[in-house]
Structure 1
Amino acid sequence: MWPYWYGGSFGVWGWVLMLVHAVLWVGVVALGVYLVARALRHSGMGPAPERVETPLEILRRRYAAGEISSEDYQRMKEELKHD
């Protein structure tokens, strides 16, 4: 038979220790979620950072799409190379 200290209840310290234990488990789970999210972000499995096009890449894309003429492309390309 189990001993019944304090009349079969936990007493004040029992409730305090249960609360501390619950807070510790919440902390452990939160730390685990943080570490997994951080590992995914640094492993390349997370969202890819946005890539910014260089001015020359934008010019090439516009020329390929037919937005600018060959003469404009050559002129702008030379201007970009001198900058």
Structure 2
Amino acid sequence: MGGGYWGWGMGGFWMIASILFWTGILTLAAILISRLFARRGEARVGGGSATPMEILDRRYAAGEITEKEYLKIKKGLSKK
């Protein structure tokens, strides 16, 4: 007989707080997962540990550059 809302005085606040809490948790999880996969992708693409000579050898072996270009670049790298 209390209008059917007995005990629900702060219900609206906690409902909003719960929605904000779970939205924050899900956002944090999405950011962490995306960064994890982004790092794995970087490792596959270049790795960052190859020397210029190794990169040159790989490009020549893959047919990206001609023998003439390979020798010219190799000569330039050996001067440094």
With normalisation by structure 1, the TM-score equals 0.50
Cα distance, 1:22–1:76 mapped onto 2, change above 3 Å: closer
| Structure 1: gaps spanning 5 or more residues | none
Distance 1:57 1:78 in 2: 11
Q: 1:62 aligns with which of 51, 62, 65?
A: 65
1:8 aligns with 2:4: yes
C-alpha displacement of 1:76 = 5.2
Cα distance, 1:39–1:15 mapped onto 2, change above 3 Å: same
Distance 2:37 2:73 in 1: 41
Cα distance, 1:21–1:76 mapped onto 2, change above 3 Å: closer
* CA-atom RMSD in angstroms: 3.6
Q: Give the match's secondary structure for 1:40.
A: helix
Percent identity (aligned): 17
Which runs of structure 2 are paired with 1:1-83 in the superposition (5 Å)? 7-9=3-5, 10-11=8-9, 13-42=10-39, 44=40, 47-48=41-42, 50-51=45-46, 54=52, 57=56, 60=60, 61-64=64-67, 68=68, 73=71, 77-83=74-80
Pick 1 or 2: higher relative contact order, CA cutoff 8 A, min separation 6.
Answer: 2
Residue-pair matches, total: 69
Deviations 1:6-65, CA, capped at 9 Å, x for gaps = 522333x211111111111111111222222233334x2xx336548837718845334x
Cα distance, 1:78–1:22 mapped onto 2, change above 3 Å: closer
Larger radius of gyration: 1
